[in-house]
Amino acid sequence: MDLGLKNKVVLVTGGSKGIGLACARAFAAEGAKVAIVSRDPANLARAREQLAGAGLHVHLTRADLHEAHSAADIVEEVTTAVGPIDVLINSAGAARRYDPETLDAEAFRATMEAKYFPYIYPQQEVLRRMAERIKAAKNKNGGENAEPGTIVNIIGMGGKMASDIHIAGGAANAALMLATVGLAHYYARYGIRINAINPGSTLTERVEEALKLEASQQGVDTAEALARGQAKVPLGRFAKPEEIADVALFLASRRASYVTGAIVPMDGGSAPLI
């Protein structure tokens, strides 16, 4: 099946590990021109090595997306080095887990800065540029052959269903879902599509961190915490990063050309919510 992603310029934030790296690998395998951004040079080096080992080459850039100007600089750099961005995959946020009794105002603020703004800042800059391209094309030729862009935000089920150890992070996720749907409604007038994926527990380093906290609370080791966690999932296991990436591919592709403002749950059936 041709997804129409060949030669598309794809920026993946948080693309050096976990779900972000799986997305970078999947888009590169489809023939897209992929750029990944991470603030950790060691993670970027490992990502380059892993992708090169699979015969895939991407543009790497180091940046901290906690500041709006930094996000704008990254978008400019990728646009100059690779081309105007057609697809943005946001996967950069990493909110800490907290025991509820340790939560305070500073923890909530830090969580928004860690998870919410690293999505919002690059998204706003990319949206601005996408809209400007569409406007320019309409002024020039009535919009014929204009290529609206797409955005996929990898958020998390914590914004739909509260977890004791992820209350602050869940609040950031809920805010991101609202922003996704609201911006999708507005930018549909330009043909720009914005969707989100809400993964449940996925086998990444972040889940390992959560398992350690859960194991401590339950008085068991992490292997037992993992077994208990997976036993609660109707499908019987946690997700693989590659499975999340497959859905991101679809949402960014021409096969999903009439899908916008969608929040796709991927939790193995754990949360029977509408």
Per-residue pLDDT of 42-69, as tens digits, reads 999 999 999 999 999 999 999 989 899 9
Q: Is the pLDDT of residue 113 over 80?
A: yes
Q: Is the pLDDT of residue 1 over 80?
A: no
210 lies in a domain? no
230 lies in a domain? no
**In terms of pLDDT, which residue wins out, 98 or 78?**
78
151 lies in a domain? yes
Overall pTM surpassing 0.85 (yes/no)? yes
213 lies in a domain? no
Domains of the chain: total: 1
59 lies in a domain? yes
Q: Is the pLDDT of residue 96 over 90?
A: no
Calculate ∠ Cα 234-239-240, nearest 5°: 155
Secondary structure of residue 6 in the 3-state scheme:
coil
**In terms of pLDDT, which residue wins out, 144 or 235?**
235
Q: What is the Cα–Cα distance from 81 to 89, expressed in whole angstroms?
A: 18
Q: What is the Cα–Cα distance from 134 to 65, expressed in whole angstroms?
A: 26
Amino acid in position 70: S
14 lies in a domain? yes
Calculate ∠ Cα 128-134-135, nearest 5°: 85
**Structural domain harbouring 197:** 9-202+239-266
SS3 content of the chain, % helix, strand, coil (to 5): 55, 15, 35
- Region of 87 on the Ramachandran plot (φ > 0 left; ψ -120 to 50 alpha; else beta): beta
Chain center to CA of 118: 10
Secondary structure of residue 151 in the 3-state scheme:
strand
161 lies in a domain? yes
**In terms of pLDDT, which residue wins out, 253 or 97?**
253
Of the pLDDT bands very low, low, confident and very high (cuts 50, 70, 90), residue 22 is: very high
**Which domain CATH number covers 130?**
3.40.50.720
Strand partners, 193: 150
274 lies in a domain? no
Going through the chain in order, the beta strands assigned E by DSSP cover 9-13, 33-38, 59-62, 87-90, 150-154, 193-199, 263-266
